Amino acid sequence: MSSLQFDIAHLLAGSLVLASFMMLYQDRLYALLNVYALHAGVLALSVAWQAYVQHAPHLYVTALIALVFKAIIIPVALHRIIRQLGIHREIENVIGVGLTMMAGIGLVALSMVVMLRVTPGADALAREDLAFALSVLLLGLLIMVTRRNAVSQVVGFMSLENGLVLAATGAKGMPLVVEISVAFSVLIAFIVIGIFLFRIRERFDSVDVQELDRFRGERR
Amino acid sequence: MIAVALWSVAALLALAPAGVVLSARPRGSFILYGGCLIATSTLCVTALSDLLYFPYLTPTATLPIGLPWLGAHFRLDALSAFFLVVVNLGGAAASLFALGYGQHEDSPGRVLPFYPAYLAAMNVVVLANDAFSFLVAWEFMSLTSWAMVVSHHREAENVRAGYVYLLMASFGTLALLLAFGLLASRAGYDFDAIRASHPSAALAGMVVILVLLGAGSKAGLVPLHAWLPLAHPAAPSHVSGLMSGVMTKVAVYGFVRIVFDLLPEPVWWWSVVVLLVGGPTATLGVLYALMQRDIKRVLAYSTIENIGIIFTGLGLALAFKAQGLDWVAALAFTAALLHVFNHALFKSLLFFGAGAVLEVTGERDMEKLGGLIHRMPKTAFAVLVGCVAISALPPFNGFVSEWLTFQAILLSPQLPNWGLKLIIPAVGGLLALAAAFAAACFVKLYGISFLGRPRSDVAASAHETDRFSLAAMFALAALCLVAGILPGLFIDALAPVSKAMVGNVMPHQTGLEWLTIVPIAESRSSYNGLLVFLFAALSGMAAASAIHRLASDRLRRAPAWDCGYPDPSPAIQYSASSFSQPIRRVFGSVILAAREIGEMPPPLSPAPARLTVDMRDLIWDALYAPIAKVISVATERINTLQFLTIRRYLTLVFAALVVLLLVVAL
């Protein structure tokens, strides 16, 4: 692999982490969805580049799936849901932006250290790729933890899954069947969660998960 | 031989699902118990002929079930054959008893499917030749017996008994699992491989402690006995008889198999541990028994006493073997095994008697019984034989095995180790005390329940029980007498077991004149059950005929001397509590924390006087209650984790992940 190819792969994976950071501080739902679409688009590019570099044509299919499902269908569907729920004006922030960003930076540093410690024998691209993927994954979890709105928790979950796909493509060899089944399971999870969103909304007039806690008789 | 045994076990297992169907039929329980009777009799005869004719052959069999790389190994050596005889003799007697008794079961569907499975599990434990089959069968035995303990689940007491039993059974299996884990770390799970490996002394010592905990909790050694007096009486009576008479013996088998067979030569301190547990178990068990009013609880506590005697015998065998005196070890070991056999006989008999009384009167409380000897004379006679045998009075079998144990204790001055020289006589003193208490305990049980006048209407209207139950009781009573007057036959039959386990045998007994038994040498001591029996029978008959001949034969009825009061009420008789009151005052105030609270109304007040006795189980208070409290507090704390918000859960997962990553990174 030439150094240019390596650099481009590096660049794309790094932009994915950057997109995750952008998601961290979006406090409006539409903006969050737009960044998520960008996130998925970068993922698709990155996977396509891996396909080109590794001469693995089946990865093009993976990239296509990422582009179609994650960058187009899911954001559009979530847009519709938000509009139907009428929550596009809601603003949410649980922890301050600065604190969240600091935590995110810490997580990225942590995943770098872990990967350097754990994979001394692997080749450089795989190490970098895995470190970025772990960062994306942890940032996705952080998004889920810091949000109260069910829709943004779903988005956090989707970005977490993007990290998994990135890790798999970098590690040379997730079979297509696995990739397709992961994609479908995410889609089904999305459908189920979507239905639940409407059910919650129907009952509580809100998709703030705090309502659920209040319903169970718990205090924050 | 082993094929016949395994097919019989398979037949028992096949009867278990049949029990589900049969429990709905009117004659179902009769068919099922008949099937169990046939299967257990076959097993008993097979094992007995193996023990008598081919004791030195060890046929093995491997079945392709269980762990895929191991299979299930079975082996029939002399030890297994002896315990198979005990298990199946008890099983056959219980099945015969249940042919009659089982007809009165309220909910047969809760007992019938589990009964044959329980019998099969006990047989498999004894036959197993690898740790996996042993433990699976052991746990199966616990679970099936638990199901029968909670069969009368509408009584809250039984449910609690089942809960405590389940906990203790899990604890025991855990200890055994750890013991086998230690042994298997070098050799694997096959008993043959474990025998061939030579574990280090420290590892073997740990295994002995764990086995004492595991088998001891099943057998009812103090302080692990707490479940036994709760669970054994809660089951239907024939199952109580099996649990007390047979299942505790399966636990003894587990201990003997691992400590005498699988482990290398014993070290002297093992015997100290076993003796220091066995002696107090015997005394405390019977002391508790003496304080009870419930017949079945008396019997359950008395089981603890007998287990103490058996473990004392085993501890003696370990002590003498470790010190190189294996001819005394053979004596102590044979005594312990003989007591295993004897206790299985008379404890089953007594539980069946209690079951017969419970069936016709519906009462287990002695204070509500009395006078049953007139209403159930045959049952009363069989129970009398059991009471005499368990009190270790000649010419019955209980005397022989306890006498042999004492013979071994009397040889302890020959031991070179000073610690053992001091401990064994002390344990002997505890056993002697236990024997005296046992006699008092069974005088009380028999005297209060069967003699005197009925204390309640149900006791007054009792009638004789059915013929199957009587047949089972009389068969066991006859065996008690046979084993008591012909002990030499039984000792000789145990010789191969003792040869295999302690490496020596007792002197050959059957050739001696007048069927005398001689434990070591004729110059030291000998016992002749037959002569004692003949003397007791002849002198008794002579005395009876002399009284009949010489005394006036005119029948006179006169008011008994009754302290100047004509006695209108049977409640004024000597009661169970008053019988045990002197012993409670002497020993109970410390060991049982017994307190007597007397309330005397002021003079001229018509209010009744009351005497309340408050007793506590100090072992329960000191050992079990604190553990239960710690667990309940801890679970209450942890319980809050069940009611967190979704975001808290997510945060917890996230934090756990980050912490683990930090551990990897640093």
DSSP for B303-333, written as a single string: HHHHHHHHHHHHHHHHHHHHTT-HHHHHHHH
The answer to whether residues B73 and B60 touch, using CB atoms and an 8 Å cutoff, is: yes
B641 at the A interface (CB within 8 A)? no
Work out the angle at residue A180's Cα, subtended by the Cα atoms of residues A177 and A184, and round it to the nearest 5 degrees: 135
On the question of pLDDT at A218 being above 60, the answer is no
B60 at the A interface (CB within 8 A)? no
A100 at the B interface (CB within 8 A)? no
Portion of chain A with pLDDT greater than 90, in percent: 16
Rounded to an integer, the average pLDDT of B42-51 is 93
The answer to whether residues B529 and B514 touch, using CB atoms and an 8 Å cutoff, is: no
Cα B301 to Cα B287: distance, rounded to the nearest angstrom? 8
Q: Cα B506 to the chain's mean position, in Å?
A: 25
B303-352 tens-digit pLDDT: 999 999 999 999 999 999 999 888 999 999 999 999 999 999 999 999 99
The answer to whether residues B261 and B302 touch, using CB atoms and an 8 Å cutoff, is: no
Cα B445 to Cα B293: distance, rounded to the nearest angstrom? 9
On the question of pLDDT at B395 being above 50, the answer is yes
Mean pLDDT of chain B: 90
Rounded to an integer, the average pLDDT of B467-488 is 93
**CA-closest candidate to residue B54, choices B101, B118, B2:** B2
Half-sphere exposure of B113 (CA within 13 A, CB side): 13
Cα B345 to Cα B353: distance, rounded to the nearest angstrom? 12
Among B646, B648, B659, which would you mutate to test the A interface (most chain A Cβ atoms within 10 Å of its Cβ)? B646
The model's confidence at residue A95, banded by pLDDT at 50, 70 and 90, is confident
**Cross-chain Cβ contact A209/B650 below 8 Å:** no
Rounded to an integer, the average pLDDT of A52-62 is 82
On the question of pLDDT at B166 being above 90, the answer is yes
A122-146 tens-digit pLDDT: 777 777 788 898 899 899 989 888 8
**CA-closest candidate to residue B108, choices B38, B34, B25:** B25
Work out the angle at residue B635's Cα, subtended by the Cα atoms of residues B634 and B636, and round it to the nearest 5 degrees: 90
**Tell me, what's the pLDDT at B614?**
82
On the question of pLDDT at B585 being above 90, the answer is no
On the question of pLDDT at B609 being above 90, the answer is no
In a domain, B523, yes or no: no
CB contacts, 8 Å: A141 with chain B: 650, 653-654, 657
Rounded to an integer, the average pLDDT of B364-385 is 92
Cα A211 to Cα B237: distance, rounded to the nearest angstrom? 57
A209 at the B interface (CB within 8 A)? yes
On the question of pLDDT at A173 being above 60, the answer is no
Which amino acid is it at B556? R
Domain of residue B637, residue span: 618-665
**Tell me, what's the pLDDT at A195?**
67
The 10 Å CB-count burial string (b at 16+, else e) for B46-84 is bbbebbeeebeebeebeeeebeeebbbbbbbbbbbbbbb
The model's confidence at residue A1, banded by pLDDT at 50, 70 and 90, is low
Beta bridge partners of B61: B74
B498's CB contacts (< 8 A; 6+ apart) are B330, B333, B334, B337, B504, B505, B506
On the question of pLDDT at B479 being above 60, the answer is yes
Cα B588 to Cα B616: distance, rounded to the nearest angstrom? 10
In the stretch 185-224 of chain B, residues with CB closer than 8 A to chain A read none
User: Which has the higher per-residue pLDDT, B124 or A54?
Assistant: B124
**Tell me, what's the pLDDT at A29?**
85
The domain tally of chain B equals 1
**Tell me, what's the pLDDT at B26?**
81
In a domain, B135, yes or no: no
Report the DSSP pairing between strands B72-75 and B595-599: unpaired
**Tell me, what's the pLDDT at B302?**
95
**CA-closest candidate to residue B279, choices B396, B405, B94:** B405
The model's confidence at residue B604, banded by pLDDT at 50, 70 and 90, is confident
On the question of pLDDT at A93 being above 90, the answer is no
Residue appearing with tokens 């039993």 = B165
**CA-closest candidate to residue B43, choices B88, B96, B10, B13:** B88
CB contacts, 8 Å: A114 with chain B: 661, 664-665
On the question of pLDDT at A220 being above 50, the answer is no
Name the residue of chain A whose CA is nearest to B642's CA: A218
**Tell me, what's the pLDDT at B549?**
81
Name the residue facing A110 among B643, B647, B661 (closest C-beta).
Answer: B661
Least confident piece of the model among A79-93, B385-399, B591-605, B628-642 = A79-93
Residue appearing with tokens 């929550």 = A87
B61-94 tens-digit pLDDT: 888 887 888 889 999 999 999 999 999 999 999 9
Question: Distance of CA B137 to CAs B10, B159, B167, B231, Å?
Answer: 13, 24, 17, 20
Token pair listed for A18: 């950057």
A7 at the B interface (CB within 8 A)? no
In a domain, B627, yes or no: yes
In a domain, B661, yes or no: yes
According to DSSP, residue A67 is labeled I
On the question of pLDDT at B535 being above 90, the answer is yes
In a domain, B653, yes or no: yes
B611's CB contacts (< 8 A; 6+ apart) are B596, B597, B598, B599
The domain tally of chain A equals 1
**Tell me, what's the pLDDT at B27?**
86
Rounded to an integer, the average pLDDT of B657-662 is 90
At how many degrees (to 10) do helices B28-53 and B2-22 cross? 170
On the question of pLDDT at A3 being above 70, the answer is yes
User: Which has the higher per-residue pLDDT, B511 or B456?
Assistant: B456
In a domain, B660, yes or no: yes
- Count of residues making up chain B: 666
Closest CA of chain A from B666, distance in Å:
8
On the question of pLDDT at B139 being above 90, the answer is yes
Half-sphere exposure of B260 (CA within 13 A, CB side): 31
- Count of residues making up chain A: 220
Reported for B105-111, long-range contacts at CB under 8 A and 24+ positions apart, including other chains, are: B105/B29, B105/B236, B106/B152, B107/B151, B107/B152, B108/B23, B108/B28, B108/B29, B109/B20, B109/B23, B109/B24, B110/B147, B110/B148, B110/B151, B110/B152, B110/B153, B111/B23, B111/B148, B111/B151, B111/B236, B111/B239
Mean pLDDT of chain A: 80
Q: Which of A73-82, B126-135, B179-188, B568-577 has the highest mean pLDDT?
A: B126-135
Cα B364 to Cα B358: distance, rounded to the nearest angstrom? 6
Which amino acid is it at B343? H
**Tell me, what's the pLDDT at B645?**
73
Closest CA of chain B from A176, distance in Å:
28
Cα B143 to Cα B169: distance, rounded to the nearest angstrom? 9
Q: Cα A17 to the chain's mean position, in Å?
A: 10
Name the burial class of residue A50, with classes exposed (0-12), middle (13-18) and buried (19+) by CB atoms within 10 angstroms of its CB. buried
Cα B308 to Cα B304: distance, rounded to the nearest angstrom? 6
CB contacts, 8 Å: A213 with chain B: 645-646
In a domain, B626, yes or no: yes
3-class DSSP assignment, residue B220: coil
B236-265 tens-digit pLDDT: 999 999 999 999 999 999 999 999 999 988
In a domain, B636, yes or no: yes
Question: pTM of the full predicted structure?
Answer: 0.81
Cα B640 to Cα B635: distance, rounded to the nearest angstrom? 9
Domain of residue A129, residue span: 3-216
Cα diameter, chain B: 104
Rounded to an integer, the average pLDDT of B222-238 is 91
**Cross-chain Cβ contact B643/A218 below 8 Å:** yes
Cα B375 to Cα B460: distance, rounded to the nearest angstrom? 8
Cα B92 to Cα B105: distance, rounded to the nearest angstrom? 19
Rounded to an integer, the average pLDDT of A156-169 is 83
